[in-house]
Amino acid sequence: MATKTYTKPSDVAESAYQGLSREQLVEAYRLMYTSRKIDDREILLKRQQRIFFQISGAGHEAVGVAAGLVLKSGYDWFYPYYRDRALCLTLGATPYQMLLQGVGAADDPNSGGRQMPSHWSFPELNVVTQSSPTGSQILQAVGCAEAGRYFAAHPEAAKKASGDYREFKDVHFQGDEVAYVSLGDGTTSEGEFWEALNTSSNRKLPVIFVVEDNEYAISVPVEVQTPGGNISRLLSGFPNFHFEEVDGTDPVETYAAFARSAAYCREGNGPAFVHAHVIRPYSHSLSDDERLYRPDAERQRDAARDPITRMQMFLLREGILDEKGINRLEKQVEEDLQAAVDQALEAEPPKPESVTQFVYSPDVDPTSAVFATAPAPVAVSDGKKPAAKTMADLINATLRDEMQRDERIVMFGEDVADCSRDQYLQEKLIKGKGGVFKLTAGLQGDFGSDRVFNSPLAEANIVGRATGMATRGLKPVVEIQFFDYIWPAMMQLRNELPLIRWRSNNGFSAPAVVRVAIGGYLTGGAIYHSQCGESIFTHIPGLRVVFPSNALDAAGLLRTAIRCDDPVLFLEHKRLYRETFGRAPYPGPDYMIPFGKAKVVQEGSDLSVITYGAVVPRALQAAQKLEREHGVKVELIDLRCLSPFDWETISDSVRKTNRVIVAYEDSLSWGYGAEIAARIADELFDQLDAPVRRVAAKDTFVAYQPILEDAILPQADDLFRAMKELSEY
Ligand SMILES: Cc1ncc(C[n+]2csc(CCOP(=O)(O)OP(=O)(O)O)c2C)c(N)n1
Ligand SMILES: [Mg+2]
């Protein structure tokens, strides 16, 4: 594979058609024409209300065909965007498959009727499920390229293994594959685009970035997006890139640009950037009329460059096809298309009861008994008890044991590595950092810098790359340094990572783990180092959300998170990392706790308190005082897993005590407790002897001054008062 010699542009086929044969040129035209005709036909079908949306690839056909002829279907990896119909056809997708998405058929291979048309997903072709947010595919393509490189360096990691997600996650890699990712000119304004350029440049990754520049993003022209109006000029200073700027309406010129780019990437020199100037003859979509913002003269200038007519003229001029030949080809395309349309219109729609299928893995159920194992602390020789460890210790130990067990695990995030400058470690000049809370300390030293490394200071970069890696079969266990700064990753966390499986109808999955340091009670943590906000994430279907309160639960749940087949948000309370409360001996390398199983911290008969995280020790303190002083017996339930949550344990407890408080650290209104309280009111109304109460933070942010922090966050005294009051109700 990767040698360090770069094939110079002049070495790539110098023949008349840049190495394309006459047959390939005819085939290129057939594919371009097919692509345009599908658009035309879909527009008609939309007007007849036989399909429900249309977005065209018109004007972008030459780029797609050129890329598809250079790159290898099912070998290279593709993160296309909605204008890449011609690319997908060239890679082997059929018009019928595309039309199935238009009608929203059960058999739609892209999404089973879940996504709009032109949202490509063809697992056999390595065309990875695409979404609608502009630009969210780009970082995933970077992660995909990193995964390919990782498996080439660690081929053993690609092997199937049993007992966890690997049983269901086949890996294939080639060693010199490239990742293709395309986007429009407007999308270059998204921050994630720049984050992707950054990492692919720094790590010299084999990614081909393709900007299909039609000079508009809906109605906004390129000069509003790009300083100077030309993205190539702007990027020219990025190191390690191979740059191409081409007339993307000319398939032959564009083919040569892709051939040079692919050669550069395959040889391991770094990423390539293909800037293709194209046109957009059909407005942005059927919902847009570009005559409102583009004068006729400008539109006519574009029309003169239409790739379909240009290619037709080219074939005639070169004597590759005569008029008859062209007519014959076009007629055949239209006949075939008609047959595909007829067939697609007959296709069965999906069954309504299938809607929740593939929200989570159908293969691995992390709530099942398979994930319930007993702690097996290592025996200590002199008969002493094994030492009680903190939550931070046990998370670190669990990460270490899992990395030992599963070579697919990689870890990255801000400051996660011991030291990015590897030689300092090797020469033993420094001890190493391993996370601002030291949760990953020593892991780079133990497992190497290609398994534990620092990310740039960019949260979308962390989650986006992890999503791409997990799609390829790696198990990224990444870290968001503070929950307060998770928001740049929100597009990936809300619209990408947890949706990969559902939106592709189980064609792809991305079971990554995102560890996040969360929470307050820090004395001085203030607004931006104290936030909770877990309910924002429990509101996302497809994402598992875990929030342990003690060392043993953290170890058991983290292991389940890593071994399961779903994406997991693993929330680690900073205040609990080194707390005396909840320390435990290391439970051994196979200790697991199933998701969705609460822990009854103490049994009681008078009142149920349902909580989790750092409120657990505070509620316990309050409950003990209440029993001491007033003889009230509180049943304290630690949910520890928030999505899914243990309704059965809650329900049993409320049936027993008939009184319930839901307590949580986040601000009161719209918080996690609202869902629990609503469910209790709904299903256990006749069991209640008192209203459902919530104890939570004030509806503000956490202030710096400790007096204010205490007043804002729920304290043991607040819990005590509420418990006493409700027990007397
Ligand atoms: C994050 C996000 N913001 C806004 C939109 C709505 N939207 C869809 S396409 C588009 C314009 C994209 O323009 P460009 O990147 O130039 O691609 P083109 O459609 O011109 O090929 C916009 C604003 C979106 N899908 N995603
Ligand atoms: Mg555009």
- CA of 133 from ligand 1 middle (Å) equals 7
Residues 382 and 175: their CA atoms lie apart, in Å, by 51
Separation between Cα atoms, residue 147 and residue 571, nearest integer Å? 25
pLDDT, position 384: 80
Q: Closest residue (by CA) to atom 17 of ligand 1?
A: 184
Residue 490, pLDDT score: 98
Could you tell me if 200 and 142 are in contact, meaning their C-beta atoms sit under 8 angstroms apart? yes
Kindly report the protein residue whose alpha carbon is nearest to atom 13 of ligand 1.
217
Give me the numbers of helices (H) and strands (E) for the chain, helices first please.
Answer: 25, 19
- pLDDT at site 377: 83
The H or E element containing residue 309 is helix 307-317
Taking 50 as the pLDDT cut, the residues of the chain under it are: 1-13
Q: Which residue has the tokens 């360090």?
A: 4
Give yes or no for a contact between 270 and 201, defined as CB atoms under 8 angstroms apart: yes
Cβ(218) – ligand 1 distance below 6 Å: yes
Report whether the peptide linkage leading into residue 349 is cis, meaning its omega lies within 30 degrees of zero: no
Burial class (CB in 10 A: 0-12, 13-18, 19+), 143: buried
Closest CA to 283 of 297, 310, 302: 302
Which of 87, 134, 280 is the pocket-test mutation for ligand 1 (most atoms within 8 Å of CB)? Answer: 134
Catalogue the active-site residues. 529
452-454 and 242-247 strand pairing:
unpaired
**Ligand 1 atom nearest to CA at 222:** 16
Q: Report the pLDDT value the prediction gives residue 381, as an integer from 0 to 100.
A: 73
Ligand 1: nearest atom to the Cα of 183: 15
Return d(Cα 684, Cα 491) in angstroms, integer.
36
Q: Which tokens in the block code for residue 457? A: 């200071």
List, in order, residues 6 or more apart from 237 with CB less than 8 Å away: none
Number of residues in the chain: 729
Closest to 17 measured CA to CA, from 295, 312, 314, 276: 314
Q: What is the pLDDT of residue 326?
A: 98
> pTM, whole model, 2 decimals?
0.96
- Phi, psi (deg, nearest 5) at residue 101: -70, -35
Give just the sign of the alpha carbon dihedral 707, 712, 713, 717.
positive
Write down the pLDDT at residue 278: 98
Q: Strands 179-184 and 207-213, how do they pair?
A: parallel
Which amino acid, one-letter code, is at 374? Answer: A
| Residue with CA nearest ligand 1 atom 26 | 133
DSSP-derived letter for residue 686 is: G
Q: How far is the CA of 89 from the centre of ligand 1 (A)?
A: 22
Ligand 1 atom with minimal separation from the 185 CA: 16
Answer whether 186 contacts ligand 1 (Cβ < 6 A).
yes
Give dist(CA 320, CA 265) in Å, integer. Answer: 32
User: Does residue 83's CB lie within 6 angstroms of at least one atom of ligand 1?
Assistant: yes
Nearest CA to ligand 1 atom 8: 134
**Residue 220 Cα, ligand 2 centroid: separation in angstroms?**
8
Q: What is the structure's pLDDT at 16? A: 85
DSSP code string of 36-94: HHHHHHHHHHHHTTSSS-----TT-HHHHHHHHHHS-TTTSEEE--TT-HHHHHHHT--
- 695: exposed, middle or buried (Cβ count in 10 Å: 0-12, 13-18, 19+): buried
Cα 146 off chain centre by: 15
